[in-house]
Amino acid sequence: MQIIQKEDGFDLSDEGQQAKQLENKILVNQITKNLTHKERKICELIEIGMSQRQICEEMGISHHTIRATLDKLSDIISNENKNGVS
């Protein structure tokens, strides 16, 4: 991996950025593999920047459902971090 020095610090080369994106995608897949279809859809909509209100309207669900999904994700991530997955 090539590291490029910039005026405000260091930056990863395109290869480094691609490797980091792949690493992040693998982590997301590990975290979301045990989610329901609805929970994964909520995650996808959050990822593209939709607000909770927009997701409620798009999916016809309550904000409580979104909150429960976010709580579940938080627990999964916390457990993954405790188990040494980063």
Q: Which ranges of 1-86 does DSSP label H, i.e. alpha helix?
A: 14-32, 37-47, 52-59, 63-82
Condensed to tens digits (0 to 9), the pLDDT of residues 10-19 reads: 555 667 777 7
Exposed/middle/buried for residue 83 (C-beta within 10 Å: 0-12, 13-18, 19+): exposed
pLDDT averaged over every residue in the chain: 78
Q: Which pTM does this prediction carry?
A: 0.59
The reported pLDDT for the residue numbered 63 is 92
Q: Which residue has the tokens 């971090």?
A: 81
Interval 48-55 mean pLDDT: 92
